[in-house]
Amino acid sequence: MQLIQDRCNSLFARDYVVTLIDNVDLCPTYPLQIILVVGYLDLTVEDLTIVPSQFPEKITELMSDSKDCRTRSRFPVPVINIDGKNICRSAGLVEKAEMILKKAKATDLKDLIRDGIHTSKGEVRSLDISWLKTLKIKHIIDLMNEKTRSFMGVVPLCSGEATYEEYVRQFSLNAMPFPGVTAYKGFKEDREQNIPLSEGRKVKDSESVAILGLSTSYDLPHPHDSWDSYRSWNIVKLLQNYFRYIFHLLKSGTDQDGLLIHCISGWDRTPMFIGIIRILLWAEGLVHKSLDSKQILYLVIGYDWLLFGHQLVSRLKEGSHIFYFSFWVLQYLLDEEFSMQGTSELELDRSQSCPI
């Protein structure tokens, strides 16, 4: 992994002023060194402040403070920057139970039960919010699986829950359910055999599910369906419409309107969305301008996927082709609307068709 890390560090440094945060004991499933963009090579750091200049001790402290309320300690990390606007990734928030387990590793359990449970929950979440504010995050994209919302018996927080009230006040929350790894089993073989994509996702009313909820009003451009039909869409159409909305968010607001994307653990659906965004922005010439196609693919695979903990070998053994899908689907994201500089509406005869 060190070779991949060194190569990714070098690729970032071709276009950006970067600071490397050594991941000593922050998160075991994060890169050995977390790459933070602090400026562009064609600008001085003073011309564009992306993250605070108190490096590296203060930033490490903020990251460490945030990790206790995130699944698997996978705290928010800025991974893409466009015009000073951070695009970040993380795992989902956890409820009190996992916080207790984390605290118990370093604290006497009796003292924790007596003094620390209620306090730790509020304090840790306030520290997480403080880190997000430092990163200038406004929008949060929650890719929670529609059916599977538990992690080791603990239910991660999902947009719309009562315990999410502080985040509701501080940020623009978007619950955007997207299929997890099991949905991609046999996906590559099915495509090779030209088997049609499954239409929609069947969810029983009795199941505890995440429901689509967008914080910003956005009507899908003609001729696309309304958001009310989202459960009838196949996986490609769902992803296309999500990216229409994401680019709408990225094109609006100021550099204070950053974006955080997360699923439950943050190492399957999250790298899919982050990697696609990086590739699409690179194709426009807006990020990593000096890299060629092979280099940007190396960066996406090496940094966004492998160094951030995607278990590629395990997924392939399970028959899940989520990694394959993430690159295969790019052919349906070629239109201008999936860009920062393109038009907001499509002409019917120019739209990329969705596979049947």
Q: In whole angstroms, give the CA distance from residue 249 to residue 166.
A: 21
Nearest by Cα to 101 from 114, 85, 117, 90: 117
Q: Would you say how long the chain is, in residues?
A: 356
Tell me whether residue 263 is one of the annotated catalytic residues: yes
- Grouping H, G, I as helix, E, B as strand and the rest as coil, residue 78 is strand
Interatomic CA distance for residues 236 and 332, integer angstroms: 8
Token pair, residue 156, equals 């991660």
Distance between CA atoms of residues 263 and 267, nearest Å: 8
Which helix or strand (DSSP H or E) is residue 90 part of?
strand 85-90
| Residue at token pair 């003094």 | 115
Q: What DSSP designation does 230 have?
A: G
Catalytic residue among 8, 88, 263, 354: 263
Return the C-alpha torsion angle 263, 254, 351, 229, nearest 10.
50
52 and 67 in contact (C-beta within 8 Å)? no
Tokens 């590559």, residue? 188
Name the helix (H) or strand (E) containing 21.
Answer: strand 16-22
Pairing of strands 77-82, 85-90: antiparallel
Sequence-distant (≥ 6) Cβ neighbours of residue 120 within 8 angstroms: 68, 99, 100, 103, 112
Instruction: Report the distance separating Cα 88 and Cα 132, nearest Å.
Output: 9
* Catalytic residue IDs: 263
